[in-house]
Structure 1
Amino acid sequence: MIGPAFLQAQAQTMSTTSSSAMPPGIERSSFGRLPDGREVDCYRITNDNGIEMRVINYGGIIVSLKTPDRTGRMDDIVLGFDSIGDYLSDTYRQANPYFGALIGRYGNRIANGRFTLDGETYHLPTNDGPNTLHGGDVGFNQRLWHVEPFSSAEGRGLVLTYTSPDGEQGFPGRLSTRVSYTLTDDNELAIDYRARTTRATPVNLTQHSYFNLKGEGSTSVLDHELMINASAYTPIDETLIPTGEIADVSGTPFDFRQPTAIGARMGQKNTQLAYAKGYDHNFVLSKTPGQGDLPTLAARVIEPRSGRVLEVATTEPGLQFYSGNFLDGSLTGKSGRPYTHRSGLALETQHFPDSPNQPNFPSTILKPDKTYHSQTVYRFSTTASENQPHAD
């Protein structure tokens, strides 16, 4: 069972340090500078088992994550780059894949770049055809976050904070956001999201890492075996906006309740697959009875040859599964190899897309007297051998 170790740690006082003195297991280095001269820092975090994660304060981006295969070989399993210049390049911005970034204010799409709240209509930048995607032209993925490293009884990590001014990208309210990344000695990456606002506003925060459990720069992820704990999903129109329907996955290519190779049904004639050019859909997660507000299992990915296993647990009601449909080889990653079609997958925990315009979806409206709080855990393990259950 996935148990978010940071929940216990939250009750304790985290030991934070200044940028000049890092806790054990955390190192800081320069990742380059932004065009305006601000320095981008890179934090290398290692747990007691040798799992290593590198995070930059630009966009809260996870630039690398090294985990062992069943033989103990360490590979980097997330897509990304080794320099800030690659994240700022015209080629990257045109492709707009959001590798490894914190996403906000609103993860996923808002139809036609507008919504109405308390009788007022708000207009947002449209950066994905007619729609707003992942917070607009300059979302949280392009902001320089303040970072404080910390150590706790359960692991070590970073607290990232960013305050979005009232009206930024068209959203109402001054939004103060705090996200913690905790790399635990249970081989979990625990992410805790919190936000407060001065005016009612939509909020939907997520993390947009692309995984390839063979190692980044490897071949496609179509042979990865995926389980999604969902009996329903939200169908989309041709612009990838939900229709409002909550549809049963039974008898469709969207039924991942049993582990299935990602590519097994990709070639089926299906309008939904045609609209997204593969999988780019929100799944309505089934919650585990008795778990209360704790994260429950949302998805599991197994890569048979390496034996690597990725499990995702969350408090969120939805999970966006994206099969790397628009990766086309135009971007070259850390390995020196191009990121080709379907060479990474994303599992974005979230509220549903376009919720501000869909009254039957769970609300994403945060009010000034409330605190937005969401938790997601990524757990890394291995199978004992091919076709055998994964090891805890």
Structure 2
Amino acid sequence: MAGTIERTTFGVLKDGRSVDCIRLAQDGGLDVRIITLGAAVQALFVPDAGGMMADVVLGYDDPEDYRVKRQFFGATIGRFSNRIAGGRFELDGKVIHIATNEGKNVLHGGPEGFDQKLWTIEDLGTEPEPFVRLGLVSPDGDQGFPGEVTATVTYRLTNPGELSMRYEATSDRTTVIGMTHHGYFNLGGVEHLRSVLDHRLQMPADHYLAVASDLIPEESPRSVADTLFDFREAKPIMRDLRTADDQLLTTKGYDHCFCLADKPHQAPRLAARLHHPASGRVMELHSDQPGLQFYSGNMLNAGVAGKYGQIARQGDALCLEPQSWPNAPNRPDFPSARLEAGETYRHQSIYRFSAQAPDLG
């Protein structure tokens, strides 16, 4: 299949820095726009069974909005995705203090995480498939994290319906790291937003992490059996969402890590399958990561306008974030987020799109 790549200017930040946009496309397949601010997916057009294209991710038209209306739309998250309790962890006997940005805790790398950084284009092309590799150097002490970290994310259209994301990072000092993609998906299309809660979701996870009021995991993994967290068979997201469960009350919906393994896999495996019956669009997420954070868009509150003049309300999009388990730097019983000096952190996730006949019933 023929592929194309285009590089344009997306806009200019208030401080005068230019933000580039790279478009990757496959004939008859996906069309994705990636911006250098936050190494973020700004748009992702996906065909339905009849070939009708729709943009399936939330985003902004103005680069400055990604900084002043921070929602992590489509962003590359780092240095550590999800939460670190108390803004601290211990590493080799030394207490490390990280800048907090969610009460006393750290969320998605702190106030100036990877999503707020301007990445550089290191390579791009169409052979053997359309791809772009973006790079970032995070200095020693960035947000409090030890070590100078050199990170890359490579976006590649590996076939007409498949978007691959490969993350790598090295550090000159032992540190912790856990990167992820923070796309907000609605397979019905975001040009005219409707609730995502009619989507059918399946996740092959036998356990999940219950959280305390500050959304920090409070104990060892719980079984999903006979609970509202059992997505081992596909079900509509809305089916159990209104149930007065203590966990759903705490998080105002789903915002939990589902445990896929106790360490990263050698190669990507199925982590989730999402289906929108009305359009027939299907997204399969394959990842090598041990956890998957499912967030049902609980805090989208119509407070900001995104692309197409649309205002996202609660439940209008969802996130499926393959990653380490939250607060892993403070939990030796969780899969390790430690990165030794000179070693390479690797994470690969694949978003595979297809379509089936719409269910109009």
Question: TM-score over 0.5 for the alignment?
Answer: yes
Whether the aligned pair in 2 keeps the contact of 1:244 and 1:358 (CA below 8 Å) is no
Within the candidate set 228, 239, 242, 1:253 is matched to 228
**Amino acid aligned to 1:334:** K
1:286 Cα deviation after fit:
5.4
Once the two structures are superposed, residues 254-274 of structure 1 have per-residue CA deviations (whole angstroms, 9 ceiling, x without a partner) of 000000101110111211111
Within the candidate set 234, 256, 274, 2:249 is matched to 274
Within the candidate set 77, 81, 90, 1:107 is matched to 81
- Paired with 1:136 and 1:343, the residues of 2 have a C-alpha distance of 25
Match of residue 19 from structure 1: none
Give the direction of change, closer, same or farther, for the CA distance of 1:177–1:292 in structure 2 (3 Å limit): closer
Match of residue 180 from structure 2: 206
Q: Where in structure 1 do 4 or more consecutive aligned residues deviate above 6 Å?
A: none
In structure 2, stretches of 5+ residues that fail to align are none
Find out whether 1:304 has 2:283 as its counterpart.
no
In structure 1, stretches of 5+ residues that fail to align are 1-22
1:379 Cα deviation after fit:
0.5
Paired residues in the alignment total 358
1:130 Cα deviation after fit:
1.5
Match of residue 349 from structure 1: 322
Whether the aligned pair in 1 keeps the contact of 2:76 and 2:182 (CA below 8 Å) is yes
Find out whether 1:371 has 2:350 as its counterpart.
no
Within the candidate set 34, 48, 68, 2:27 is matched to 48
Match of residue 265 from structure 1: 240
Match of residue 242 from structure 1: 217
- Paired with 1:387 and 1:240, the residues of 2 have a C-alpha distance of 38
Once the two structures are superposed, residues 290-334 of structure 1 have per-residue CA deviations (whole angstroms, 9 ceiling, x without a partner) of x96110000000000000001000000000000000001111121
Within the candidate set 284, 289, 313, 2:286 is matched to 313
- Paired with 2:51 and 2:338, the residues of 1 have a C-alpha distance of 45
- Paired with 1:258 and 1:125, the residues of 2 have a C-alpha distance of 40
- Give the 5 Å matches for 1:154-165: 154-165=128-139
Find out whether 1:38 has 2:11 as its counterpart.
no
Match of residue 47 from structure 2: 68
- Paired with 2:269 and 2:186, the residues of 1 have a C-alpha distance of 23
Within the candidate set 146, 160, 168, 1:172 is matched to 146
1:152 Cα deviation after fit:
5.2
- Paired with 1:337 and 1:138, the residues of 2 have a C-alpha distance of 26
Q: TM-score under structure 2 normalisation?
A: 0.95
Whether the aligned pair in 1 keeps the contact of 2:47 and 2:53 (CA below 8 Å) is yes
1:243 Cα deviation after fit:
1.1
Match of residue 128 from structure 1: 102
- Give the 5 Å matches for 1:137-156: 137-151=111-125, 153-156=127-130
Greater displacement, 108-117 / 47-56:
47-56
Whether the aligned pair in 1 keeps the contact of 2:3 and 2:129 (CA below 8 Å) is no
Match of residue 3 from structure 1: none
Whether the aligned pair in 2 keeps the contact of 1:47 and 1:184 (CA below 8 Å) is no
Within the candidate set 266, 270, 295, 1:293 is matched to 266
Once the two structures are superposed, residues 83-119 of structure 1 have per-residue CA deviations (whole angstroms, 9 ceiling, x without a partner) of 2132233xx1xxx320000000000000010001011
1:192 Cα deviation after fit:
0.7
Whether the aligned pair in 2 keeps the contact of 1:154 and 1:185 (CA below 8 Å) is no
Whether the aligned pair in 1 keeps the contact of 2:5 and 2:126 (CA below 8 Å) is no
- Paired with 2:29 and 2:286, the residues of 1 have a C-alpha distance of 22
**Percent identity over paired residues:** 44
Once the two structures are superposed, residues 348-381 of structure 1 have per-residue CA deviations (whole angstroms, 9 ceiling, x without a partner) of 0001000011110000000013210111000010
Once the two structures are superposed, residues 207-245 of structure 1 have per-residue CA deviations (whole angstroms, 9 ceiling, x without a partner) of 001000000141111100000110101111110001131
1:154 Cα deviation after fit:
4.4
Match of residue 326 from structure 1: 299
Whether the aligned pair in 2 keeps the contact of 1:220 and 1:344 (CA below 8 Å) is yes
Whether the aligned pair in 2 keeps the contact of 1:40 and 1:56 (CA below 8 Å) is yes
Q: TM-score under structure 1 normalisation?
A: 0.88
Once the two structures are superposed, residues 4-36 of structure 1 have per-residue CA deviations (whole angstroms, 9 ceiling, x without a partner) of xxxxxxxxxxxxxxxxxxx96111111111222
**Amino acid aligned to 1:357:** N
Whether the aligned pair in 2 keeps the contact of 1:283 and 1:318 (CA below 8 Å) is yes
Q: Give me the CA root mean square deviation.
A: 1.8
- Paired with 1:103 and 1:88, the residues of 2 have a C-alpha distance of 14
